[in-house]
């Protein structure tokens, strides 16, 4: 009986390998929040990935094969995300791109893990990569990396002795709030207001009133793009004068577009931005804007560089092998001199977390302005 089971398993593995070895297009699956509360983030990620794929295909494809991107909309709904991921996995993709929201990643990542399919996603919740997954890879910092950086900024630049935190009550927001509070505590900075909000919330009047009443020296805003814009508008309306500090999202181009003048003065740490002073990133931004008619945010860069990371690792392997691809990405450093599409030198560790330089920024006259650079943690 055991012998028959072994033969069946070996046959299944061999069949899966042969599917990848066939000629013709190689299947990439995009799983994202193309509708619902995550549409802004995921559309950016998807479009960045599409641009990278088209560039690679225009140069002859990946190992001589065209890349085909099949898209699946999670509708920002956990139940839908699982069914969409299963549909994608049934098509035996070489790799899964996305999702972007941490909660959506959390409910779907096990399906990719069981199928031994690399999943290059945009979620930032710290616990995603702490569960021992072998096939999960980030395209941006996890909160365990970004929050210490923002905490140092609060202490060393803002010089705040107490702060208020406004966070969205989902996996992304709760993970960020927990890590932020831990880092504040370790630096002796008191959190005097801890305000939970809802995903898709439209009215922040009461939250701003509470934050003002706490007499905080700064307010840390950790909500999604559209909510960030609404909070900024309400804060300016109520005359909040203390620094409004964020981590990447608050200073994103989509937030600036939605908030208008209310975004001016917002500042904080940005792990990725289309406005960083790197010529390759500026070129990416111009190409993206020309094609899609909007300015990309950090999610666009995530999708773009995620595809190029896969392409680089695959070319190094010289074959399409999902297990070998995942193994090779752990511990890999990709430099722009070796793969220009990676834009910034990036390292993946044994858990699939990344390390690279990052920036501090402020919104000035409706534009994100980079005011400083932070080194890789490994240096």
**pLDDT digit string, tens, across residues 95-119:** 999 999 999 999 999 999 999 999 9
Residue in the block written with tokens 């890590």: 179
Residues 159, 182: Cα–Cα separation, whole Å: 17
SS3 349: coil
Q: How confident is the model at residue 2, as a pLDDT?
A: 45
19-33, 132-146, 149-163, range with the lowest pLDDT: 19-33
Res 378: pLDDT: 62
| pLDDT in the model for residue 8 | 44
Put simply, whether the predicted model's pTM sits higher than 0.85 gets the answer no
Q: Is the pLDDT of residue 1 over 80?
A: no
* 277 pLDDT above the threshold of 80: yes
For the chain, how many residues are written?
379
Number of helices (H), then strands (E), belonging to the chain: the values are 12, 15
pLDDT at residue 124, as a whole number: 87
The distance of Cα 84 from the centroid of its chain, to the nearest Å, equals 20
3-state secondary structure 183-205: HHHHCCCEEEEEEEECCCCCCCH
Report whether pLDDT(37) > 90: no
Q: Which pLDDT band holds residue 23 (cuts at 50, 70, 90)?
A: confident
Angle made by CA atoms 103, 75, 271, in degrees to the nearest 5? 50
Question: If you write DSSP's letter for every residue of 16-68 in order, what string do you get?
Answer: HHHHHHSSSPEEEEEEE--SSTTHHHHHHHHHHHHHHHHHHHHTT-BTTB-EE
Question: Percent of the chain, pLDDT > 70?
Answer: 93
Distance separating alpha carbons of residues 31 and 85, to the nearest angstrom = 7
Position 10 scores a pLDDT of 44
Q: What is the dihedral of CA 279, 285, 288, 294, to 10 degrees?
A: -170
In this model, does residue 163 exceed pLDDT 90?
A: yes
The residues, any chain, with a CB within 8 Å of residue 279's CB and separated by 6 or more, are none
Is residue 5 pLDDT above 60, yes or no? no
């Amino acid at each position: 009986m055991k012998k028959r089971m072994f033969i069946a398993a070996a046959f299944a593995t061999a069949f899966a390998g042969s599917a990848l070895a066939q000629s013709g297009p190689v299947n990439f699956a995009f799983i994202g929040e193309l509708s619902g509360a995550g549409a802004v983030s995921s559309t950016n990620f998807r479009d960045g990935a599409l641009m990278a794929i088209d560039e690679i295909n225009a140069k002859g494809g990946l190992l001589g094969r065209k890349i085909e991107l099949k898209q699946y909309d999670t509708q920002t709904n956990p139940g839908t995300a699982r069914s969409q991921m299963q549909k994608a996995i049934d098509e035996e993709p070489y790799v899964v791109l996305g999702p972007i929201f941490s909660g959506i990643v959390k409910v779907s990542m096990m399906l990719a893990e069981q199928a031994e399919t690399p999943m290059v996603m945009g979620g930032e919740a710290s616990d995603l990569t702490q569960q021992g997954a072998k096939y999960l890879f980030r395209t941006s910092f996890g909160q365990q990396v970004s929050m210490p950086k923002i905490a140092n900024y609060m202490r060393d630049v803002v010089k705040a002795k107490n702060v208020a935190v406004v966070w969205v009550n989902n996996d992304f927001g709760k993970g960020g709030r927990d890590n932020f509070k831990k880092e504040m505590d370790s630096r002796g900075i008191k959190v005097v207001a801890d305000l939970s909000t809802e995903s898709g919330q439209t009215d922040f009047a009461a939250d701003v009133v509470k934050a003002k009443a706490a007499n905080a020296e700064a307010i840390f805003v950790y909500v999604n793009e559209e909510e960030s814009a609404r909070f900024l508008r309400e804060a300016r309306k109520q005359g909040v004068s203390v620094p409004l500090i964020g981590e990447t999202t608050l200073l994103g181009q989509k937030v600036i577009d939605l908030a208008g003048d209310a975004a001016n003065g917002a500042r904080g740490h940005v792990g990725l931005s289309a406005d960083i002073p790197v010529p390759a990133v500026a070129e990416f931004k111009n190409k993206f804007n020309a094609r899609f008619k909007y300015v990309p945010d950090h999610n666009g860069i995530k999708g773009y560089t995620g595809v190029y990371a896969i392409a680089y690792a695959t070319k190094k392997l010289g074959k399409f092998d999902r297990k070998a691809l995942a193994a090779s990405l752990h511990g890999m450093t990709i430099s722009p001199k070796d793969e220009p599409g990676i834009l910034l030198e990036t390292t993946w560790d044994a858990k699939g977390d990344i390390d690279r330089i990052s920036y501090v920024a402020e919104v000035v006259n409706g534009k994100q302005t980079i005011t400083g650079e932070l080194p890789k943690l490994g240096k």
